[in-house]
Structure 1
Amino acid sequence: MSSILTNNGAMVTLQTLKSINKNLATTQNEISTGKSVATAKDNAAVWAISKVMESDVKGFKGIQDSLSLGQSTVAVARQAAETVTDLLTEIKGKVVASQEENVDRDKIQTDIAALRSQIDAVTKAAQFNGLNLLSNTETAVAAPGSNQISVLSSLDRSGSGVASSEIDVTKADLGVGAATDGTTAGGTAATAIPSLAAGGTSAFMTVVPANVTYGTTYNIESMAGTAVAAGDQVSYVVRQGDTAASVASEMVNRLNFVAAREGADVTFSISDTDPAIINVTNNTDAAITGIAAGDVNRTTGGTAGGGLNLLEEFDVTSAEGAAAALAGIEGLIQTSIDAGAAFGSVQGRLEIQQDFISGLTDALRSGIGTMVDADMEEASARLQALQVQQQLGIQALSIANQAPQSILSLFR
């Protein structure tokens, strides 16, 4: 049945042409934007995932900046620590030279003082953006970790949310500033040693972890029993980040320094069984009087000095002073080497993390592109096919619209 009111062929053709035009518009949009999923209406699930990943990429870009800043800061500290190590090595050479009798010790002492001043200049200048990792002289008792800085290193996404990861950098202290001993009584720090046999060794002092807080001062007021002059005080003020073992190590260095300076034939060392216990060994052929418990005590309220402040006591103008400097320099060099090694290790870790974050960011961007980017080859082929279909559709619609004209022949 033919009808001049209803053209079914034209309606079918028109619907087909509308569908072709819609697909053509979608393809043209993909080509113009470069994305197959440009908005949430294109594919809500894929769009949501891509936006989360894009936010992570933005976050990782900030992390790369943080790692770059941290790496630069640590690099400055490492370079300074290595320079200080070289300067201390030069001082050691001067100290060794001062052991000879036929040398001008006054001039050697002048050279040592100049090198000590250079160490002070290096440590003070070793800052990046105002942060100096070679300065650990906070003056307040703080929670553990106060001698550390944290460098933002990663974002960890899980089902419960996002958490940040950090790389901790522990400060060192290679300054030469003097310490101020505490004045408030804090208790004894040793058990009396009545006597030491020839060649005998005995526990001398135990560092208690509970007392390793900033400003606690370990004092040895007199070591007359070990042939060290009475009243010749040896002390160490605890700084942030110290442990019982590190305090004991610092005390051993200072005790051996004073013993050598005073000509006492005794040696102080760390116990083989506990790194917080200090032993004293009698190196003479006869027994000597021990150390009174009251001569070894603790005080509080002190101010920590620089980690190399023992340099201030180096005086090689006498044979005894030269011997003391030789006994003390090794510990200072080791302190500087440990600092440089620690900074080098952290710098290497920061570089590895930075490379990883860079690669991870590239992988995330690639993943996002895989989900939302348009396949331009496919889009191009589809565009041409749809354009041909559109032209054919227009032709078919024209033919369908001409069909009712055939009815006119019935009325001729």
Structure 2
Amino acid sequence: MSSILTNNGAMVALQTLKGVNANLAKTQDQISTGKAVSTAKDNAAVWAISKTMEADVSGFKAISSGLSMAGAAVGTAREGAEDIQKTLGKIRDTIISAQNATSDTDRGKLQNDVVNLRSQIENIVKGSQVNGLNLLDGSAGTVNFLASVDRSAAGTTTSTIAVASQDLSVGNYVAKNIFTTSGTASASGDSAVMSLDAGDTTGVTLTVGGGGDTLAAGDSISIRIGDKEATYTVTDSDAASATPNDVVAVGLKSAIEKLGVPGLAVDYDSGNPGELTIKSGATATTNDLAISARFQNAGSGGLGALGAINVSTAAGATAAMASIETLMKTATDAAAAFGSAGTRIEGQANFISKLTDSLKTGIGALVDADMEEASARLQALQTQQQLGIQSLSIANQAPQSILSLFR
């Protein structure tokens, strides 16, 4: 039946043309934005996932910036520690020269060099800071640098890289008359130098507290045997003990034994308060060993014992070797610790960079438009649009044929 009121062909052509136009508009939008999913109405689930991933990318960029600052702070501290180690080496050379000096006048000049080098170390410590963060003066404690944000079904958590500051400051040292020695040894109150010959079963003695001064909580005593070092820090209960020197001596004995020096024996005689005898053991396998002891008071800087070095006398120059070796090891250990932390930060920064790139690739796979496909689709839809318009035009002309029925 022909009708002038209802044109089914035109309606079909019109609906087809509307669909073609809608697809054409979508394709043109993909080409202009470069995205197949640019809004939530395009694909709500994919859009939501992509936005979460984009938030992670933004967060990782901020973490990367933070790691750059962390690397700068740790790198500055490492370089400072290395410079301090080199300066301590110069002080050691000066001490050796003082031991070879023939007069106290010459040693006095060398002592001036020591003082100047100590001031140089102080300046290095103060200057080794980034944006106010100083990892060389011990004031920062342990610094936690944000390393990543970890997402799971339960939510997000953070991971950090902990970097312990190192105390290489030189201030607040207060000397105490702590040590007395016997055997092949010399002592200057707050330090001592001894030599143990291989097979010496008699050994040398070191008496803690023999100098007369009292140890306080937080004071520490370090004993270096060969290339190994043992340290004991006085606790509150030690200081409150009726016989603190005995308690500290026993603690030092235990610390020395844990070093595991072959053929070394340490004896403690309770009849002689605070006295340790260091000797070759029954196996007599110990090589000749240089032994040194150093006192450090509570609250002093990690290199505070530099303040006690005095090479203006022959005895002072000899005793100074006990301190400088330990202080150089302290600086070396600090530089090594910062070097290790710097390597970890650098590795994490590289990982974050690669992870960010991977996330960007994943986001692109979800929302980016396939431009080759979009180009082909555009041409096809443009052709369909032209055909749809022509089809609608033909359908609109159909009612005119009804006029021939009334001629």
Establish whether TM, by shorter chain, passes 0.5.
yes
Q: Is 1:382 matched with 2:377? A: yes
Report deviation, 1:202: 8.8
Aligned position for 1:154: 148
Distance 1:386 1:310, change over 3 A: same
How far 1:292 sits from its partner (Å)? 4.8
Structure 2 unaligned residues grouped into runs of 5+: 177-199, 221-227, 235-251, 276-296
Q: Mark the CA change 1:331 to 1:153 in structure 2 (over 3 Å): closer, same or farther.
A: same
Q: CA deviation at 1:106?
A: 1.1
- Per the alignment, residue 257 of structure 1 pairs with none
Aligned to 1:163: 157
> Which residue among 226, 231, 248 is the counterpart of 2:212?
231
> Does the residue aligned with 2:129 lie in a helix, a strand or coil?
coil
1:120–1:4 CA distance, 2 compared to 1 (3 A): same
CA–CA distance in 1 between the matches of 2:326 and 2:216? 16
Of the three residues 310, 321, 324, the one matched with 2:305 is: 310
How do 1:397-412 and structure 2 match up within 5 A?
397-412=392-407
Q: Measure the CA separation in 2 of the matches of 1:336 and 1:236.
A: 24
Give a deviation string over 1:347-393, Cα, whole Å, max 9, x none: 11111111111111111111101100111111111111101100100
**1-side partners of 2:33 and 2:58: how far apart?**
21
Q: Is residue 236–residue 250 contact of structure 1 (8 Å, CA) maintained in 2?
A: no
TM-score, normalisation: structure 1:
0.74
Change (3 A) 1:316 1:232: farther
Secondary structure of 1:333 counterpart: helix
Distance 2:397 2:346 in 1: 75
Cα distance in 1, alignment partners of residues 204 and 11 from structure 2: 110
SS at match of 1:350: helix
* CA 1:303–1:203: 2 relative to 1, 3 Å: closer
Contact 1:31–1:379 under 8 Å retained in 2: yes
Offset at 1:169? 0.5
Residue matched to 2:54: 54
After superposition, the CA RMSD in angstroms is 3.2
- The partner residue of 1:338 within 333, 341, 355 is 333
Amino acid at match of 1:306: G
Query: Which TM-score applies when normalising by structure 2?
Result: 0.75
Q: Which amino acid aligns with 2:49?
A: I
Instruction: Indicate conservation of the 8 Å contact 2:173/2:307, yes or no.
Output: no
1:392 to 379, 387, 391: 387
Instruction: Note if 1:368 corresponds to 2:363.
Output: yes
Question: Does residue 176 in structure 1 map to residue 157 in structure 2?
Answer: no
* Alignment partner, residue 199 of structure 1: 202
Provide the secondary structure at the position in 1 that maps to 2:116: helix
Aligned to 1:133: 135
Amino acid at match of 2:335: G
Letter of the aligned partner of 2:307 in structure 1? E
Q: Give 1:69-80 correspondences, 5 Å limit.
A: 69-80=69-80
C-alpha contact 2:218 2:233 (8 A) present in aligned 1: no
CA spacing shift, 1:269–1:288, aligned 2, 3 Å: closer
Which ranges of structure 1 fall in alignment gaps of 5 or more residues?
A: 138-145, 183-196, 205-219, 224-229, 240-245, 253-267, 294-301
Cα pair distance change 1:3/1:251, threshold 3 Å: closer
- Offset of 1:269 from its aligned partner? 7.3
Look up the match of 1:13: 13
Instruction: For 2:172, give the aligned amino acid.
Output: A
Deviates more, 1:160-169 or 1:2-11: 2-11
1:125–1:77: structure 2 CA closer, same or farther, 3 Å change rule?
Answer: same
Q: Which amino acid aligns with 1:72?
A: A
Contact 1:235 1:251 in 2 (8 A): no
Aligned partner of 1:193 in structure 2 is: none
Question: Deviations for 1:146-166, whole angstroms, at most 9, x for unmatched residues?
Answer: 820010010111110010110
Q: Which residue of structure 1 aligns with residue 272 of structure 2? A: 290
Q: List per-residue Cα deviations over 1:323-354 (Å, max 9, x = no partner).
A: 11112111000000000000011011111111
The alpha-carbon deviation at position 291 of structure 1 amounts to: 2.5
- SS in structure 1 opposite 2:398? helix
Distance 1:30 1:378, change over 3 A: same
Which string of whole-angstrom CA distances, capped at 9 and with x for unpartnered residues, describes residues 211-259 of structure 1?
Answer: xxxxxxxxx5x31xxxxxx4256778369xxxxxx9952779xxxxxxx
Instruction: Report the AA paired with residue 131 of structure 1.
Output: L
Indicate the SS of the match to 2:137.
coil
Q: Amino acid of the residue matched to residue 310 of structure 1?
A: A
CA deviation vs aligned residue, 1:276-312 (integer Å, no higher than 9, x gap): xxx9969xxxx9983359xxxxxxxx85111011111
Contact 1:105 1:316 in 2 (8 A): yes
Q: How many residues end up aligned between the 2 structures?
A: 333
Q: How does 1:341-360 map to 2 (within 5 A)?
A: 341-360=336-355
Amino acid across the alignment from 2:364: G
Measure, in 2, the Cα distance between the counterparts of 1:386 and 1:8.
23
Q: Distance in 2 between matches of 1:76 and 1:238?
A: 30
Distance between the aligned counterparts of 2:219 and 2:395, measured in 1?
Answer: 98
1 CA distance for matches of 2:380 and 2:6? 31
SS in 2 for 1:24: helix
| Identity level (%) | 51
Tell whether the 8 Å contact from 1:203 to 1:280 is kept in structure 2 after alignment: no
Decide whether the 8 Å contact of 2:175 with 2:308 is kept in 1: no
CA shift for structure 1 position 198: 6.5
Q: 1:327 to 1:341 in 2, by over 3 A?
A: same
- 1:4 is displaced (CA, Å) by 1.4
Residues 240-251 of structure 1 mapped to structure 2, 5 A cutoff: 249=231
Moved more, 380-389 or 83-92: 380-389
1:105-160 alpha-carbon deviations (Å, 9 max, x no partner)? 111111111101111111111111111111125xxxxxxxx820010010111110
